[in-house]
Structure 1
């Protein structure tokens, strides 16, 4: 990704006719509120379950009380909302100013669970605070490390993200991880209904109805789920009306093991962050991201992860399913996503509202996310289409995907490795990203350079 190419893409985008009929690919376009609000809520619905699942998993891992679980979920929503505003609107050099939804990262979970069990959640918060600062530093010096992430690496990483997330999407289709009736016909039929409605509205309707296809599919599935007994409104009745964020309520401690493990994960996650930023720019605005967008986006990921540690939440990252949603709807307005961020903040302050959104059944969500996860993979392929498919690049892509997809599928291969190493390898994303970066650095180019269009 050369500076000339990036500058050219910015000039082309800036020169776009503001009066053109279709401005959906314009990141600075503000649709009418009657469209922007539901489109923003659509983004929240797409990421909500994933965002609150991480604190629930960690809370259960340490035997937290139900009240503590609710507190952690509320913190996750509030922090995700603030982080989304920073990422979309920007503060000085921080923030990509792209339609990127932020949320709690699943990638850190395998690393955080053993730390939480050994040292407690305060140690996780300490490691996350330091790891976030390391990631922000990587964003600040993106010019010096950008050579590590050419299109062949970032495109491969986006493909990895989509492919690794697809099994998660189908787990939702079956009723969610650990569901007692996993795979029951009612789950599969609900998911199929949402899937079908979403595709019909996306492909056969125009304008707002096409852009809101996912939201319409989710609403139809939600209504259909009520008579099936899959919507539990008791969570709404039990939730409070208002709750202010409380900094350092969980506490914070600094342990070397936690700092090293989470810090390493934070640095490697830069590749995921760059991949999501690139995927959003390619899928939404049909251009590569600028260096300022990459730098600001990675800095926002890092600083918001440190902010999250202060406010009792876990590391933040751009949400890949929302990258797919941007590609699916074709709406690239960062202000639409900012509205979603405001909704998340409100949900974090009003537990009843957050509880209502959390009643969306997993199967309903699954019918929509399988489409979005598939589109993430497509966005990665689109990024890779901009490079030269010579034998060097094909080897980087093939080997990286083989490691990222194959290694987690056969966990017995790494059973003899130390637990800390196992948690890193089992993620798939980390070893896949490391392999892609190393191969790109070590393999000779053979006189055939990558093409950047």
Structure 2
């Protein structure tokens, strides 16, 4: 028999109501999969578009200006970018088949990491449309490589413990804040960045967002960013900052066609450069996926990361075909999910539909583009900062008593901010290295990953400074499959493949998640495997007479008593059984008879978690009652007791990464 898997609670920490929560408690649906009412779905989707729009159009603008494209070509690039962003977001949030798309509220956008390499590729090819077609050739190939490499990259998740992912997520948020600050003072081309009007609009928009979230609940609180953008734009009208001339000059319909600028050209140097960009972007995507999983309360494993990276690969290949660029999960909208606490992936799908429509209607795009830079900057300050907060939350699970973790986090953030504040530092390096150090996000991420490998995965590892009979989550993350299985095999009395299967699902962000994964895998195991494991547990009656016979007898009989165990296993075994000493002679004899009858009837031993058994009368009453149960019920009851024992031993073995 296989026990039904109990659905764990996966609600986010915040207690504010989520409008996407399911109404039918008989068939619970995770908030990620719930569909909001049509009106709210449209409003939430539009909010994502407005929050995303400025970041979406900046890449085509920078590239067009750098390689010498004219205004009409730039307009086509913007339309193609928005159109493809919409398709990519739907693929990521809704999924394409079973292996493409992570199915989380992740909006796709053009990665900023690719800007400098694409400009270099375009100029090397002569600029203009010829340079553009060479860029597209490299983008198409890099997208295909990303798609096929996704499962291999995802297997490296054990090298991304909380100390790495927390650093990467924090770096993403901090490195994006200067972008918001630039918008807040009027944009990169502002003639008067010290204008008090710009500052008033930016801070005013931020204040509106904060005030709405403080005063309102429910729907209004979730559209605070949208309300701030709308009110900020209306406040800008009297000052002449809302330019609507582009709306009148734009066409009503503009369809992007494949290879509009000509057939792609393939250059080996350009392809290698773009593949490097996509590998770096994969690190960012991994961080965004893990961050979003934490925000919405959904576990993220290697399979999820692989699906997300495949979606990146498909979207990037599609981008090169439809006159757009490499795609990744957009950190700006990760911050929006955290800020609004709207978890539904269908909201991002709705945003994707809006972007497709905007990409087909240039007038609509021009209208959205009319939102002034200071207003966008004020909203972005709130969103980008919340990305950094998610990273800080992840880092709170790290054991900073271990100085190695301090070095990983400090160096990663330090290098990221160094490159962000002084971007020209990359010019001191060879051209290939500028691809890596041209972005604070990629530079900081690579430093954090490299130092984690150096300190935790190479050479002889120093013994942990804490109690030798316990381990931390960071130490567990550094174990290979064999080490992991050996460590957690001590939770059970007999051999089992449960730890090895759980290791393949890792890494795990904290001890509670790992504990739940071990329990889930135990209950999901085939009935035959469960029964074989239960058979290795000693008869409770036999343990009664060994309760005073010393540590070996107290640790049990059978294979578990003779196999070599670390110190962490022997101590929990003593704790598991010391309550038997409270039984008097008559009680022990009765329990021995009940246990013998139990084994004869059910074919496996009477298993009881003695730490939870209560007093002697309760223990005996429970043993007698279980003897009357049907076989299927007792299989389930015995497995629950096995899980309880393993849970207590886990708590004795693994120390929490943050104080209780």
Q: What is the TM-score when the length of structure 1 is the normalising length?
A: 0.93
Matched, 1:335 2:358: no
For the aligned residue pairs, the C-alpha RMSD in angstroms reads 2.2
1:44 equivalent to 2:49? Answer yes
Is this contact kept in 2: 1:140–1:295, CA < 8 A?
A: yes
- Give the gaps of 5 or more residues in structure 1: 1-7
Gaps of 5+ in 2: 12-20, 126-130, 465-471, 475-508, 511-660
Q: Paired residue for 2:84? A: 79
Give the number of equivalent residue pairs: 443
Q: Which of the numbers 369, 384, 402 marks the counterpart of 1:358?
A: 369
Q: Distance in 1 between matches of 2:85 and 2:61?
A: 15
**Structure 1 residues 9 and 149 mapped into 2: Cα distance closer, same or farther (>3 Å)?**
farther
Equivalent position of 2:93 in the other structure: 88
Using the TM superposition, name which of 236-245 and 342-351 deviates more.
236-245
Q: Which residue of 1 aligns with 2:313?
A: 302
CA distance in 2, matches of 1:216, 1:122: 40
Structure 1 residue 155: Cα displacement: 1.5
Structure-2 separation of matches of 1:416 and 1:227: 46
Matched, 1:115 2:121: yes
| 1-structure distance, mates of 2:384, 2:366 | 25
User: 2:147 aligned to 136, 142, 147, which one?
Assistant: 136
| Residues 1:57 and 2:62 are matched in the alignment | yes
Q: How many Å separate the matches in 1 of 2:306 and 2:289?
A: 10
Query: Are positions 1:450 and 2:450 aligned together?
Result: no
- Look up the match of 1:5: none
The separation in 1 between residues aligned to 2:449 and 2:213, in whole angstroms, is 36
Residue 293 (structure 1) shift = 2.1
Q: 1:137, CA displacement in angstroms?
A: 2.6
Q: Distance in 2 between matches of 1:136 and 1:433?
A: 21
Q: Secondary structure at the match of 1:227?
A: helix
Give the 3 Å change call, closer, same or farther, for CA 271–394 of structure 1 in structure 2: same
Describe the shift of the 1:186–1:104 C-alpha distance in structure 2 as closer, same or farther (beyond 3 A).
same
**Cα displacement (A) at 1:437:** 1.5
Instruction: Give 1:388 shift.
Output: 2.5
Deviations 1:133-188 (A, max 9, x none): 22223323344222332322122111011010011111110011121222312211
Is 1:262–2:274 an aligned residue pair? yes
Alignment match, 2:537: none
Question: Which residue of the partner structure matches residue 100 of structure 1?
Answer: 106
1:216–1:414 distance in 2 versus 1, CA, 3 Å: closer
Among 386, 396, 400, which residue is 2:408 paired with? 396
Offset at 1:13? 4.0
Query: Does the 8 Å CA contact 1:111/1:424 hold for their aligned counterparts?
Result: no
Rg larger in structure? 2
Range with bigger deviation, 409-418 or 300-309:
409-418
Deviation of 1:413 (Å): 4.9
Cα distance in 1 for residues equivalent to 2:355 and 2:426: 39
Query: Whose RCO is larger (CA < 8 A, sep 6+)?
Result: 1
Alpha-carbon contact 1:25-1:286 (below 8 Å) kept: no
Cα displacement string for residues 278-318 of structure 1 (whole angstroms, at most 9, x for unaligned residues): 111112x1344233322111111121011100000011111
Choose the corresponding residue for 2:167, options 143, 156, 160.
156
SS of the equivalent of 1:249 reads coil
- Give the TM-score of the pair, scaled to structure 2: 0.64
Moved more, 176-185 or 229-238: 176-185
User: 1:400 Cα deviation (Å)?
Assistant: 1.1
Counterpart CA distance in 2 for 1:384 and 1:25 is 26
| Structure 1 residues 328 and 245, CA gap change in structure 2 (3 angstroms) | same
1:374 aligns with 2:385: yes
The structure-2 alpha-carbon separation of the partners of 1:239 and 1:401, relative to structure 1 and needing over 3 Å to count, comes to same
SS in structure 1 at match of 2:158: helix
The 8 Å contact of residues 326 and 332 in structure 1, kept in 2 or not, is answered as yes
The equivalent residue for 1:421 is 433
